[in-house]
Amino acid sequence: MAITETLHEYIDAHTTLIDCRLYRPQLAACYLIADSEELMLIDCGTRHSVPQILEAITAIGAHPEQVRWIIPTHVHLDHASGAGMLMQYCPNATLVAHPRGIPHLVDPSKLQTGATAVYGEAAFARHFGTLEPVPRARTQASADGERLALGRRELLFIHTPGHANHHGCILDTSNGHLFTGDTFGLGYRELAQPSPFLVATTTPVAFDPDTWLGTLKRLLALDSQVVCLTHYGCYPRPEVLAPMLRESIEAHRHIALEEEPREKEGREQRLREAVGQLLVETAVAHTGLSRESVHEMLIGDITLNAQGLAVWLARRARR
């Protein structure tokens, strides 16, 4: 499927999807919501995403000074590493996040050190750059169920652990748009033919399948109309899509539990092979695309999902 070069697209009169341009087009998004001359950003990509965000704000006839809220769904780098720089351009904004995430945004040094060890210094600098701290005085730790005003609308912040223990989703109560970060899985546009295709993302370090399934049940009870995924885009009828995600969560759990009694030596490689087989085969069956093209598209997620399952098994062993 051809990829458009458009950096942003309008979901409705109040909501704009912005392509964060991480790794490739249409891999990571953030969302701009406007109401009564106030703006909110949900997720913010990396520091390299800031120009696209500012361009989208200008395109709707607004200014960065109108941004009232910046809300990373969680502090993984593809969702929040640009927050510190973006706050510098939005002087009136308050950053809202899960209480567990706020410390990592105020002092991102541990986050940067850990991620540099994973990606390597050159790759980290290329994709993420330096993580700028967010002033603590401009942060707000959101309670579960907290309501945030934006112009004439109200948005609900919900704690949604399972993918990460510091994850939150945001419901726009005026139109039923649910901004899900990674909690509703990955749904890349290239794989959304002939219908949406969702898979779990078990990125290190807090994959918890039981908790995630409980979170998913809670989200469906909100009766939202559309799920807006960071990876990537908006899809209607979440109740129809949820079984696909549940199946993917269970399949990843099964892979990990099959691996659990084996020797630790070679574990990550075996997990990578099993996760690769799962993701590629299900995507090929859904789309009819070639194994080679699907594997190339998903190779990063295969590696991260395998690493996440290895961390989950190590955590189970410590218990």
Q: Provide the pLDDT for residue 47.
A: 94
> Which residues of the chain are modeled with pLDDT < 70?
1-6
Q: Are the C-beta atoms of residues 150 and 94 closer than 8 Å to each other?
A: no
- Assign domain 1-97+99-141 one CATH number from 3.40.50.10470, 3.60.15.10, 3.90.230.10, 3.40.50.1170: 3.60.15.10
pLDDT digits (tens, 9 = 90+) for 277-302: 999 999 999 999 999 999 999 999 99
Q: Please give the CATH topology (third level) of the domain spanning 144-319.
A: Metallo-beta-lactamase; Chain A (3.60.15)
Q: Provide the pLDDT for residue 167.
A: 98
Q: Provide the pLDDT for residue 129.
A: 87
Q: Provide the pLDDT for residue 2.
A: 32
As a three-state string, the secondary structure of the chain is CCCCCCCEEECCCCEEEEECCCCCCCCCEEEEEEECCEEEEECCCCHHHHHHHHHHHHHCCCCHHHEEEEECCCCCHHHHCCHHHHHHHCCCCEEEECCCCHHHHHCCHHHHHHHHHHHCHHHHHHHCCCCCCCCHHHEEECCCCEEEEECCEEEEEEECCCCCCCCEEEEECCCCEEEEECCCCECCHHHCCCCCCCECCCCCCCCCHHHHHHHHHHHHCCCCCEEEECCCEEEECHHHHHHHHHHHHHHHHHHHHHHCCCCCCCHHHHHHHHHHHHHHHHHHHHHCCCHHHHHHHHHHHHHHHHHHHHHHHHHHHHC
Q: What are the boundaries of each domain within the chain?
A: 1-97+99-141, 144-319
Q: Provide the pLDDT for residue 6.
A: 61
Q: Provide the pLDDT for residue 124.
A: 86
CA distances in angstroms from 309 to 24, 133, 140, 194, 296, listed in the order given = 25, 30, 32, 30, 21
Q: Provide the pLDDT for residue 82.
A: 96
Q: Provide the pLDDT for residue 4.
A: 38
Do domains 1-97+99-141 and 144-319 share one topology? The answer is: yes
Q: Are the C-beta atoms of residues 241 and 226 closer than 8 Å to each other?
A: no
